[in-house]
């Protein structure tokens, strides 16, 4: 006896289900998915064993990339195709779009706070919450380029290409601006700190490589 799980799902709980996925960070494996969904399905007059069997079948249908883990994007795309998500999305702040996952890199930080694209490059800058490191990631080669370490947590960064000179300016919570030279040929890392005189209330890191 296979059930139409979607008919038993109260769409008012979509935001709660989404939180289950987000809290799991890397998506839900089968057992965790079944446990989570049982919380939000109407079980009146339905044996739980039938619900579990139907949820297992649903998991196999929705796990389109076959990695034995269901992510929110996969689940939401499925219910969107079933025409169930529209009403609930009107009540939440979630954006209405069908995400298409091109690739993923699970080696990246789990608690990403900001992602900044550096214009006219293949780089994005990634920060974690309260981290002193700025991660430079190449989205074309799909690999980490550099980790730039600072004395205090990174707040923001900016890429500057001025007359052939390419710099990354990083603001940290200790009121310091650090200017990194991305074209340094005299340092093995290729990234060197540019020294400069501090302005009132600000400072620039001394010459030398960090990280």
Q: Please tell me the predicted confidence (pLDDT) of residue 26.
A: 80
Residues pairing with 143 in the sheet: 138
Do 159 and 120 lie in a common domain?
yes
Torsion sign, CA atoms 107, 109, 114, 116: negative
30-53 pLDDT per residue, tens:
999 999 888 888 777 778 888 888
Indicate whether 207 belongs to any domain.
Answer: no
Indicate whether 17 belongs to any domain.
Answer: yes
Largest CA distance in the chain: 75
Indicate whether 97 belongs to any domain.
Answer: no
Q: Please tell me the predicted confidence (pLDDT) of residue 200.
A: 38
Between CA 84 and CA 61 the distance in angstroms is 17
Q: Please tell me the predicted confidence (pLDDT) of residue 208.
A: 32
Indicate whether 133 belongs to any domain.
Answer: yes
Select from 40, 43, 54, 68 the least CA-distant residue to 1.
54
Structural domain count, the chain: 2
- Kindly report the CATH number assigned to the domain that includes residue 121: 2.40.10
What pTM, to 2 d.p., does this model score?
Answer: 0.44
Do 116 and 190 lie in a common domain?
yes
Q: Please tell me the predicted confidence (pLDDT) of residue 110.
A: 66
Range of the domain at 163: 112-194
- DSSP code of 186? S
Low-confidence ranges of the chain (pLDDT < 50): 1-2, 85-96, 185-189, 195-211
Indicate whether 177 belongs to any domain.
Answer: yes
Q: Please tell me the predicted confidence (pLDDT) of residue 106.
A: 67
Indicate whether 60 belongs to any domain.
Answer: yes
Do 133 and 167 lie in a common domain?
yes
Distance of CA 168 to the CA centre of its chain: 22
Do 9 and 84 lie in a common domain?
yes
171-187 pLDDT per residue, tens:
999 888 888 888 764 34
Indicate whether 96 belongs to any domain.
Answer: no
């Amino acid at each position: 006896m296979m059930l139409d799980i979607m008919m038993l799902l109260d769409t008012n709980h979509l935001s709660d289900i989404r939180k289950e996925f987000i809290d799991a960070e890397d998506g839900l494996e089968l057992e965790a998915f079944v446990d989570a969904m049982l919380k939000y399905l109407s079980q009146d007059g339905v044996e739980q064993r039938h619900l579990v069997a139907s949820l297992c079948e649903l998991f196999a249908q929705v796990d389109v990339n076959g990695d034995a883990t269901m992510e929110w994007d996969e689940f939401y795309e499925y219910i969107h195709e079933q025409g169930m998500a529209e009403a609930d999305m009107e009540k939440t702040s979630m954006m209405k779009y069908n995400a298409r996952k091109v690739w993923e890199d699970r080696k990246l930080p789990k608690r990403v706070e900001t992602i900044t694209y550096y214009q006219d490059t293949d780089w994005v800058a990634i920060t974690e919450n309260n981290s002193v490191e700025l991660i430079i990631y190449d989205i074309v080669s799909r690999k980490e380029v550099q980790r730039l370490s600072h004395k205090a947590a990174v707040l923001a960064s900016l890429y500057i290409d001025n007359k052939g000179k390419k710099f990354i300016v990083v603001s940290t919570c200790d009121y310091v601006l650090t200017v990194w030279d991305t074209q340094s040929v005299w340092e093995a890392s290729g990234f060197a700190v540019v020294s400069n005189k501090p302005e009132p209330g600000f400072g620039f890191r001394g010459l030398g490589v960090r990280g």
